Amino acid sequence: MSARISNNRPEPDPLFREIADYILSERSESEEARSTAHYCLLDSLGCAFQALDFPACVQRLGPVVPGASMVGGARVPGTAFELDPVRAAFNLGVMIRWLDFNDTWLAAEWGHPSDNLGGIIALADYLHRSGQRSMTVADVLDWSIKAHEVQGILALENSFNRVGLDHVLLVRIASTVVAAGMLGATREQVINALSNAWLDGGALRTYRHAPNTGVRKSWAAGDATSRGVWHALMAVNGEMGYPSGMTAEGWGFQDVLFKGKPVVLSQALGSYVMENILFKISFPAEFHSQTAVEAAIKLHPQVKDRLDDIETILLETHESAVRIIDKKGPLHNPADRDHCLQYMVAIGLLKGDLVAEDYEDDVASDPRIDQLREQMNVVEEPAYTRSYLEPSERSIANAMTVTFKDGSKTERVEILYPVGHRRRRDEGIPLLMQKYAANLERCFGAPRGAEIYAACEDQDALPAMTIDAFVDLFMSPRA
């Protein structure tokens, strides 16, 4: 007979305690983190506004059932929706993530920490408008630094995708604890909310991989950040927690879903992730492909008039790119195409550019794309894999060489770091702000877009703006 398990309620798991103490600690003193958070906020909203050009995104917005709005609730920037904060978090989270153009974090687990802004902005607007808590843009920036840190540090050594769980699990975790902090939760309430978020388990990655790649990958993060707001609201209203939710023998997250491995924080929580975040600046493309597309665009002038003469295209890349986006065979939808390395490279070679519309059916019907895909040979370059995994480097390297039928070759174009990398910040930030300006004009028109840009550009003045005044800038009858 096996020993009986004690029913004495244990102390909360150490992981729960460490995350809760960080959430309730003072704000970050890192000026670099706060400056980067400012750019992250603007870029994420710009990505959301660009997504409104795509009917497939718009049809998923609004209340769960028609007419279920909430006067005095949370607004959804770029639209006229006024919803409860949980549903508003879903809406904005979907918009930010839809085009795969917001920031990225690459480690043992990857993800997009700005996905949490769906929950942070929605909850901040609701709390301020309802008179429960005063909220400024500075508060949003501070909470976004913490959300980035929780999600990103958990991703450093814990690979949930290797056991089949989708990385949006960490969006739910980060959004939960940050939302609890925003609500003024006690330490016990933060832990209660966090334990319930882990007990949700995780979505399967099925929708990100062949042959099932589909549109859920574009709304999964919105679902996760809204779930985090819901868990936090439940906790401050008295919902109990589960102190050994991670470590309980046989029934905890680690035993059931993580093959018994402990989930660890490999370094102290601070502001490391925001300081080192990767921006998607040039292309709405899965991040492992960013330097490959940049290489393709550099080669475009050399190949655009010789497409019929191409014999082979050699793509040298890192292991994660091979595993995630090296894809052969038919591509069934835009979500399939923006996670296909060969498709993205083919567009770059053909057009000298890559934009979100290039994933749509009308562009994909060009037979030259599949012809180029067939000519590509994707191989892992071990040095690129090592550099990708090295914390002091975190490169996302790709190299490309095109060989023609007469035996001649293009130059070998190698790009180690994408323009959104911390090592290319001086080059990247002006381009990031150009991207933001273009997205404002796309959504609001030139005169109003320029007014909004001017109000948002000043890193000294913007943080003092109340969140309701900030969201006011972006309200539109468009959707």
Do 268 and 291 fall within a single domain? Answer: no
User: Do residues 20 and 145 both lie within one domain?
Assistant: yes
Confidence band of 421 (pLDDT split at 50, 70, 90): very high
Res 1: pLDDT: 40
Last residue of a domain, one of 275, 307, 339: 275
Nearest alpha-carbon partner for 439 in 117, 98, 34, 113 = 98
Q: What mean pLDDT comes out for the span 172-194?
A: 98
- Provide the sign of the torsion angle of the four alpha carbons 21, 27, 28, 32, taken in this order: positive
The more confidently predicted of residues 213 and 42 is: 42
Query: Tens digits of per-residue pLDDT, 58-92?
Result: 999 999 998 899 999 999 999 999 999 999 999 99
| Omega prior to 211 cis, within 30 of 0 | yes
- Neighbouring CB atoms inside 10 A of 477's CB total 6
369 found inside a domain: yes
Contact status, residue 417 vs residue 287, Cβ threshold 8 Å: no
For the entire predicted model, the pTM comes to 0.90
3-state secondary structure of 402: strand
Q: Give the percent of the chain with pLDDT over 70.
A: 99
For residues 238 and 328, state if they share a domain. Answer: no
pLDDT on residue 478: 59
- Examine the domain organization and report whether 160 and 264 are in the same domain: yes
Instruction: State pLDDT tens for residues 110-156.
Output: 899 999 999 999 999 999 999 999 999 999 999 999 999 999 999 99
Task: Evaluate whether residue 454 is within a structural domain.
Answer: no
For 192-239, write each residue's pLDDT tens digit.
999 999 999 999 999 998 889 899 999 999 999 999 999 999 999 999
Give dist(CA 48, CA 42) in Å, integer: 10
Domain-embedded: residue 281: no
* Cβ pair 13, 20 in contact under 8 A: no
Residue 3 binned pLDDT confidence (cut-offs 50, 70, 90) = low
Checking DSSP bridges between strand 413-415 and strand 398-404, what pairing results, if any?
A: antiparallel
Is residue 16 pLDDT above 90, yes or no?
Answer: yes
- Which pLDDT score is estimated for 393? 87
Kindly state whether residues 24 and 146 are assigned to the same domain.
yes
Total domains in the fold of the chain: 2
d(CA 372, CA 313): 8
> Does residue 96 sit in the same domain as residue 134?
yes
Residues 190 and 322 in one domain: no
Domain that holds residue 367: 287-418
- What is the average pLDDT score of the chain? 95
pLDDT band at 45 (very low <50, low <70, confident <90, very high): very high
CATH number of the domain at 243, please.
1.10.4100.10
Domain boundary among 252, 275, 298: 275
Tokens of 179: 């939302």
How far apart CA 146 and CA 172 sit, in angstroms, is: 13
Q: Per the domain annotation, does 423 fall within a domain?
A: no
Identify which of 439, 394, 447 has the alpha carbon closest to the alpha carbon of residue 288. Answer: 394
Boundary of a domain, candidates 207, 241, 275: 275
253 and 292 part of one domain = no
Residue 466 lies in a domain: no
Residues 58 and 192 in one domain: yes
- Give the CATH number for residue 328: 3.30.1330.120
Helix (H) or strand (E) holding 74: strand 74-75
**282: three-class secondary structure by DSSP:** coil
Asked if 210 and 299 sit in the same domain, the reply is no
Q: Do residues 135 and 79 both lie within one domain?
A: yes
- The SS3 assignment for 62 reads coil
Residues 221 and 97 in one domain: yes
CA distances from residue 342 to 125, 240, 330, 400, 438 in whole angstroms, order as listed: 42, 49, 12, 12, 28
For residue range 247-305, list pLDDT tens digits in order: 999 999 999 999 999 999 999 999 999 999 999 998 888 889 999 999 999 999 999 99
Phi, psi of 400 (to 5 degrees): -145, 140
- Is residue 477 included in any domain, yes or no? no
Q: Is residue 457 part of a domain?
A: no
Q: Among 278, 36, 221, which residue's Cα sits nearest to residue 144? A: 36
Q: Is the pLDDT of residue 479 over 80?
A: no
Burial class (CB in 10 A: 0-12, 13-18, 19+), 217: buried
Instruction: Identify whether 478 is part of a domain.
Output: no
Per the rule left: phi > 0, alpha: psi between -120 and 50, beta: everything else, 248 is beta
